[in-house]
Amino acid sequence: MDRWLGAGATLVAASLAIPGARKAPDGADSLFEWAVAEATQGLPGARRVHVTTDFLGPFELWCTSEDAAAVKRRCVAVEAATPAARLVDLDVYSPEGTPVDRASLDLPARRCLCCDEPARDCIRAGRHALADVVASALRLLADLRG
Concatenated DSSP letters of 6-25: TSSSEEEEEEE---SS-SS-
Helices (H), 8-116: 28-41, 68-79
For the chain, 146 residues long, give each residue's pLDDT as a single digit of tens.
566 555 678 999 999 999 999 998 999 999 999 999 999 887 878 899 999 998 889 999 999 999 999 999 999 999 999 999 999 999 999 999 899 999 999 999 999 999 999 999 999 999 999 999 999 999 999 987 76
Q: Establish if 77 belongs to a structural domain.
A: yes
pTM over 0.85: yes
Distance CA 40, CA 75 (A): 9
Whether residue 15 is contained in a domain is answered as: yes
The CATH number of residue 39's host domain is 3.30.70
Instruction: With CA atoms as reference, report the closest residue to 82 among 34, 15, 11, 135.
Output: 34
Domain that holds residue 61: 10-107
Contacts of 109 (CB under 8 A, 6+ apart): 102, 103, 118, 119, 120
